[in-house]
Amino acid sequence: MSAVPGVPSSGAGRARRRHLPVAAAPRDWRWQLRHATTTVAGLERALALSADERAGAVRAERAGLPLRVTPYYLGLVDPSDPRCPIRRQVVPHAAEALATPGDLADPLGEAAHEVAPGLVHRYPDRALLLATDQCAIYCRFCTRSRMVGGGVGALPGAALRGAVAWLGGHPEVRDVIVSGGDPLALGTDRLERLVAAVRAVPSVEVIRLATRVPVCLPMRVDRALVRALRPHHPLWVMTHFNHPKELTPEATRALALLVDGGFPVMNQTVLLAGVNDAAATLEALFRGLVRRRVRPYYLMQMDPVSGTGHLRTPLARGVALMEALQGRLSGIALPKLIVDTPGGMGKVPLGPDYVVARAPGRTRLRTHRGVEVEYLDPA
Ligand SMILES: *Cc1c(COP(=O)(O)O)cnc(C)c1O
């Protein structure tokens, strides 16, 4: 038992009563979901909560974005330090009740861009399919806190047929991002049926699965899942690692199964105050991902979701971090810094400005070493 971090002994007792092999149980993803912490009392048993955390947890138990952490992910939390970067991602805080100017319930205007139930269309060649409202954990900075965890569950069959019919009528959409909620929170059969339905649309070239499961429930990535999904390639997996502490041996195993299974794996990190807004943290994370054959794809400025002001950084912070990393990190380890503009107007890449001066045919550039270089256009 002690080999599995964060599994409370009461959980092991419950597993024994179900006649499951005790040592194996926490390695079973369904066991992890059944034993997820969803109440203030459960959280108090595992961690010494600060007054602000307790107030946040009490609030989350009553309304809004629910409280939910898998025993596995809870095991990564420092039980005595409220500043722990893992803890800040999943333990609610009293500041979730505060409103910040500019906050929105639906910062990306997804409801307004819904073209069929569960299908969001904001870019000409891409669409986003919300497969379920369930996740293995509820991240306190969730962009879709307005709708996840409501207990609706998987997208109903009729809605899926509607989404697939819309895709069939829009051959310009070649890339479908399956998100939610977390699509990997669905059972393998159900997920495979959903992916097969999307794959059956001839104009869909690429399907992406956007999931935090390799981070918070890595045992869910097993050979059966890979076997079920492989026939539907090209399938890309978009993971969501935010901190190097999340790159555990279990997560490493999950990523290896995916990459070996032929899934290109990309990572989207959300920039979070007090979690990963330091160059050394991001450097360790991006290097760790590349070592595991995962490409850091986006570093995302946090969306202005209601009740997340305490987790957001100013825009200039992300730009300064990118500047610190540029030149120090291999190009394959450097993600793009992205701001998803409020109102669903689309993503904008941001970065340090390396252009010092412009004249016709002549541009003065600053390199990462601080050297200024003149570049001449062809005549
Ligand atoms: C972010 C997003 C995409 C995908 O954007 P990429 O830049 O291609 O990764 C597609 N649709 C919606 C609605 C999105 O929010």
The three-state (H, E, C) secondary structure of 192-248, written as one string = HHHHHHHHCCCCCCEEEEECCHHHHCHHHCCHHHHHHHHHHCCEEEEECCCCHHHCC
Of the candidates 188, 201, 211, the residue with the CA atom closest to the CA atom of residue 160: 201
Compute the distance from residue 164 Cα to the ligand 1 centre, in Å: 18
Count Cβ atoms within 10 A of the Cβ of residue 360 and give its class: 0-12 exposed, 13-18 middle, 19 or more buried: exposed
- For residue range 99-137, list pLDDT tens digits in order: 888 899 999 999 999 999 999 999 999 999 999 999 999
Ligand 1 neighbours (beta carbon < 6 A): 108, 120, 122-123, 126, 128, 177, 347
Rg (CA), the chain: 22
DSSP character at residue 301: P
Compute the distance from residue 93 Cα to the ligand 1 centre, in Å: 29
Strand order in the sheet with 355-359: 355-359, 362-366, 372-376
In this prediction, residue 19 has a pLDDT band, given cuts at 50, 70 and 90, of low
Beta bridge partners of 270: 300
* Three-state DSSP class for residue 206: strand
- Asked if residues 331 and 290 have their Cβ atoms less than 8 Å apart, the reply is no
CA distance 236 to 211: 11
More confident residue, 343 or 1: 343
Minimum-distance ligand 1 atom for the alpha carbon of 122: 13
CA distance 34 to 330: 41
DSSP character at residue 296: E
- Asked if residues 265 and 295 have their Cβ atoms less than 8 Å apart, the reply is yes
Residue 10 has pLDDT above 70, yes or no: no
Residue 355 has pLDDT above 60, yes or no: yes
- Asked if residues 36 and 8 have their Cβ atoms less than 8 Å apart, the reply is no
Q: Tell me what pLDDT residue 192 has.
A: 98
Across all residues in the chain, what is the average pLDDT?
93
111-350 CATH choice from 3.20.20.70, 1.10.3720.10, 3.40.640.10, 3.90.1720.10:
3.20.20.70
Q: Tell me what pLDDT residue 368 has.
A: 87
Per the structure block, which two tokens stand in for 172? 């310009």
- For residue range 141-200, list pLDDT tens digits in order: 999 999 999 888 999 999 999 999 999 999 999 999 999 999 999 999 999 999 999 999
From 113, 120, 122, 178, the mutation candidate for ligand 1 (largest count of ligand atoms within 8 A of CB) is: 122
Instruction: Give CA separation, 160 vs 156, 166, 204, 206, 290, in Å.
Output: 6, 10, 15, 18, 35
User: Residue with the nearest Cα to atom 8 of ligand 1?
Assistant: 126
CA distance 363 to 341: 29
What is the number of other CB atoms lying within 10 angstroms of the CB of residue 141?
Answer: 24
Minimum-distance ligand 1 atom for the alpha carbon of 127: 11
Of the candidates 235, 214, 147, the residue with the CA atom closest to the CA atom of residue 155: 147
What residues contact 364, with CB distance under 8 A and at least 6 apart?
355, 356, 357, 358, 372, 373, 374, 375
Q: Tell me what pLDDT residue 1 has.
A: 34
Work out the percent of the chain whose per-residue pLDDT is above 70.
94
| Catalytic residue list | 122-123, 126, 135, 139, 142, 144, 303, 340, 347
CA distance 121 to 135: 22
Q: Tell me what pLDDT residue 327 has.
A: 86
Q: Tell me what pLDDT residue 80 has.
A: 92
Minimum-distance ligand 1 atom for the alpha carbon of 113: 13
Compute the distance from residue 198 Cα to the ligand 1 centre, in Å: 17
Q: Tell me what pLDDT residue 2 has.
A: 38
For 169, list phi and psi in degrees, rounded to 5: -85, 0
CA distance 87 to 108: 26
CA distance 88 to 213: 18
From 143, 173, 177, 205, the mutation candidate for ligand 1 (largest count of ligand atoms within 8 A of CB) is: 177
From 119, 123, 170, the mutation candidate for ligand 1 (largest count of ligand atoms within 8 A of CB) is: 123
Domain boundaries, the chain: 12-97, 111-350
Q: What is the dihedral of CA 320, 322, 327, 332, to 10 degrees?
A: 170
* Three-state DSSP class for residue 235: strand
User: Residue with the nearest Cα to atom 7 of ligand 1?
Assistant: 347
From 126, 175, 269, 303, the mutation candidate for ligand 1 (largest count of ligand atoms within 8 A of CB) is: 126
Per the structure block, which two tokens stand in for 156? 């109903």
User: Residue with the nearest Cα to atom 4 of ligand 1?
Assistant: 126
Residue 218 has pLDDT above 50, yes or no: yes
Looking only at the bridges linking them, the beta strands covering 206-210 and 175-179 are parallel
Minimum-distance ligand 1 atom for the alpha carbon of 177: 10
CA distance 236 to 182: 15
Minimum-distance ligand 1 atom for the alpha carbon of 120: 13
Compute the distance from residue 182 Cα to the ligand 1 centre, in Å: 16
Compute the distance from residue 44 Cα to the ligand 1 centre, in Å: 38
Compute the distance from residue 126 Cα to the ligand 1 centre, in Å: 7
Q: Tell me what pLDDT residue 11 has.
A: 40
Compute the distance from residue 123 Cα to the ligand 1 centre, in Å: 7
Instruction: Tell me the average pLDDT across 294-321.
Output: 97
